[in-house]
Amino acid sequence: MSFCKGCGAPIDWVTTAQARKMPVDEEPVFVIPGDGRDRFVTDEGEVILGRLARPDEEHSPRREVAFVPHWRTCPNADDFRRR
Ligand SMILES: [Zn+2]
């Protein structure tokens, strides 16, 4: 675990299939793949497009567990992108 230099939040780093390191929020989320345009990354580094699952979908067979790229939730994401 490390901490975001922009906002101090705890983050993890996932290596994507493209061998790039992506900062992600520490807490994984449930994602419905293919039903949205938000980007998530699994702990295996696979980037998926989809949307956050609603609470009633958290046990759906469609859902995946993935991480939210930290630049989407970071209040200082603009700083983040420039680095
Ligand atoms: Zn941050």
Ligand 1 centre to CA of 39 (Å) is: 17
Residue 68 C-alpha to ligand 1 middle, in angstroms? 12
What is the rounded CA–CA span in Å between residue 14 and residue 71?
13
Digits of tens for pLDDT over the chain (83 positions)?
A: 899 999 999 999 999 988 999 999 999 999 999 999 999 999 999 999 999 999 999 999 999 999 999 999 999 987 665 55
> What letter would DSSP give residue 25?
E
Would you state the pLDDT for residue 68? 97
Per-residue pLDDT at 78: 76
Which sequence spans correspond to the domains of the chain?
Answer: 2-82
Strand order in the sheet with 29-41: 47-52, 29-41, 64-66
Q: Which 3 state secondary structure label does DSSP give 56?
A: helix
CA 53/CA 43 separation, integer angstroms: 17
**What residues pair up with 69 in beta bridges, in sequence order?**
24
The DSSP 8-state label assigned to residue 17 in this structure reads T
What is the enclosing helix (H) or strand (E) of 31?
Answer: strand 29-41
**Dist. CA 32 → ligand 1 center (Å):** 24
